[in-house]
Amino acid sequence: MTDASSRSQRPAPVPLTILTGFLGAGKTTLLNRLLRDPGLARSVVLINEFGEIGLDHLFVEKIDGDMVMLASGCVCCTIRGDLVDALEKLLRDRDNGRMGEFDRVIIETTGLADPAPVLHTLMSHPYFLMRFRLDGIVTLVDAVNGAATLQNHPEALKQAAIADRLVLSKTDLLDSDERRHAFETLTRRLHNINPTARLLRAEDPIGAAELLNAGLHDPDSARPNVRAWLNAEALAETAVTDTASTDTCAVCGEDHDHAHHDHAHHDHAHHDHGNHDEAIRSFCLTSAEPLSPNACGLFLEMLRSAHGPNLLRVKGLIALSDDAERPLVIHGVQHVFHPPVRLDSWPDADRRTRMVFIVKDLDEKFVEGLYRAFAGQAAVDRPDATALSANPLAPRAGGLLG
Ligand SMILES: Nc1nc2c(ncn2[C@@H]2O[C@H](COP(=O)(O)OP(=O)(O)OP(=O)(O)O)[C@@H](O)[C@H]2O)c(=O)[nH]1
C-alpha cells in the first residue's frame, strides 16, 4: 500500500474538548445541557470525579451508554496513565466495532485539576496526535464565588488563563448591587488574565456552536481558521521588527510608545489591576521578517527549556525564510509543544509572524529580546544604553575627558 493510499484510509482525527473549572463551578450542569444539543448526539464524555470511584475499580468503567468514568484521583497527575489507557481503549473499541461511532470526545476534569498535563498527554502522544485533534478548552467560572476561588486557588487561575472559552455560570444569582458590582470586577479580571478567550454566560442560550470548535480546524471549511484560533486582535501587538511603535497596553488599555514604555514599572506602580494574577500577562509579538527554520527552532527551544513552566499557552503563525509562502503553526502549553504544522498557504492577506503568549512571571521584553536575538536583530537594550551613558568610565566621543 502506498503512503498516499494509507493516509487516505486513516480515519479523520476526532475533535477533543476539555471542560474544566473549579469545584462546583457548574461543569456537569453545562455538560448535561450540551449533550441535549443534537449536534453532540455522538459524543463520548470522559469524566474524572475526584474520589468518586475507588482505586480497586476498573480504571475505566463504562457507564450510562457513552459515558466513561475514569478512576479515582486527579486527572492531572495520578491517573494520567489512566487517561491514556481510557483514550486508547475508546479508539480500540471504535475501530473494532465494539462501540458505536463517535464524533467528539469531551473530557470533564475534576475541579482541582491543573489542565496543562491533560493537554501535554494529548500533545505528546504520537498515536493521539494522529487520532485526536484538540478542539479547545472550555473553563467554567462561578459568577458568585469565582473571584475568591481565583484568589485562593492557583489551579483555578490557570484554568482561566489557558481557556479558549470562559463560561460564567450562576449569573442568575446576581441579585444584589454588591454581587453585580463584584461580578463586573470578576469579568474585567478574567479579561485581563486571558483577553483571547471568548467570555460567555451559561445563562444565555449557548450551545455547541458557541462553546466548541475553538481549535485551529474549522469544521465548516477545509481550511484551518488560524485567525479565530489565535484571536491576536484581542491583544496589543509588539512589532519586533520595528524600532518603535505605539500600542495599546493589554493590561490598562492606554496607548504607549512601545520603545519607551516600561510595562514592569508602569502597570505595577501606577495601576491596580487587582490581584496576584497580575503575574499573568498576555501579549502578541509580530514580525514582518521571515525567520530561518533553524533560528525559529532555537528560539522556541530556548524559550521552552528555560521558561517552560511560565508559558501557560503559546499559539502562533510563523513566517519561515525557506518557504515564506508556507507558514508554520505552533502551539505550546508550558514545556510541551504540539509538533509544529506547516500550512500549505497563508490563511489571509496578513503575512506577518504573529505569536500570542499567555505567560506567568515572564517579561514580554525578555521574550521580544530573545526573538530579536534569534532573528538577527540584536540591539543594545535601553537600560544598558542608559547605564553606559551614565557611566563616567564608558568610552565616549572625545575620550574619557571629553
Ligand atoms: N443557580 C445556579 N446554579 C447552578 C448553575 N450551574 C450549576 N449550578 C448548581 O451548582 C452546583 C454544582 O454544579 P455542578 O454542575 O455539579 O458543578 P461541577 O463543576 O460539575 O462540580 P464538581 O464536579 O463538584 O466540580 C449544583 O447544585 C448545580 O445545580 C447556574 O448556572 N445557576
Residue 73 is predicted with a pLDDT of 41
Distance 171 CA to ligand 1 centre (A): 12
The verdict on the CB of residue 236 being under 6 Å from ligand 1 is: no
Ligand 1 atom closest to the CA of 21, numbered from 1: 19
Nearest alpha carbon, ligand 1 atom 6: 26
The verdict on the CB of residue 50 being under 6 Å from ligand 1 is: no
Q: How many CB atoms lie within 10 A of CB 398?
A: 6
User: β-pairing, 311-318 with 328-333?
Assistant: antiparallel
Helices 364-374 and 263-270 cross at an angle (nearest 10°) of 170
DSSP-based three-state secondary structure for 197: coil
Task: Determine the Cα–Cα distance for residues 59 and 51; give it in Å rounded to an integer.
Answer: 13
Residue 310 is predicted with a pLDDT of 92
The verdict on the CB of residue 201 being under 6 Å from ligand 1 is: no
Nearest alpha carbon, ligand 1 atom 32: 170
| Closest by Cα among 69, 96, 68, 80 to 128 | 80
Q: Tell the residue number behind the cell numbers 522556541, with chain if given.
A: 300
ipTM above 0.90, yes or no: yes
Q: How many CB atoms lie within 10 A of CB 307?
A: 18
Task: Determine the Cα–Cα distance for residues 217 and 342; give it in Å rounded to an integer.
Answer: 14
Pocket test for ligand 1, best of 20, 27, 28, 29 (most atoms within 8 A of CB): 29
Distance 27 CA to ligand 1 centre (A): 7
- In the chain, the amino acid numbered 234 is A
Task: Determine the Cα–Cα distance for residues 279 and 361; give it in Å rounded to an integer.
Answer: 5
Pocket test for ligand 1, best of 20, 34, 169, 179 (most atoms within 8 A of CB): 169
Please measure the distance between the N-terminal and C-terminal CA atoms of the chain and give it in whole angstroms.
Answer: 79
Ligand 1 atom closest to the CA of 173, numbered from 1: 1
The verdict on the CB of residue 27 being under 6 Å from ligand 1 is: yes
Distance 308 CA to ligand 1 centre (A): 33
Which domains are assigned to the chain?
Answer: 3-211 (3.40.50.300), 230-379 (3.30.1220.10)
The verdict on the CB of residue 187 being under 6 Å from ligand 1 is: no
Distance 185 CA to ligand 1 centre (A): 22
| pLDDT under 70: residue ranges of the chain | 1-9, 48-81, 218-222, 236-278, 377-402
The verdict on the CB of residue 21 being under 6 Å from ligand 1 is: yes
Residue 103 is predicted with a pLDDT of 87
Phi (first) and psi of residue 102, to 5 degrees: -135, 150
Could you tell me which residues come within 8 angstroms of residue 401 by beta carbon, excluding any fewer than 6 positions away? none
Q: Nine-digit cell at 226?
A: 488560524
The verdict on the CB of residue 146 being under 6 Å from ligand 1 is: no
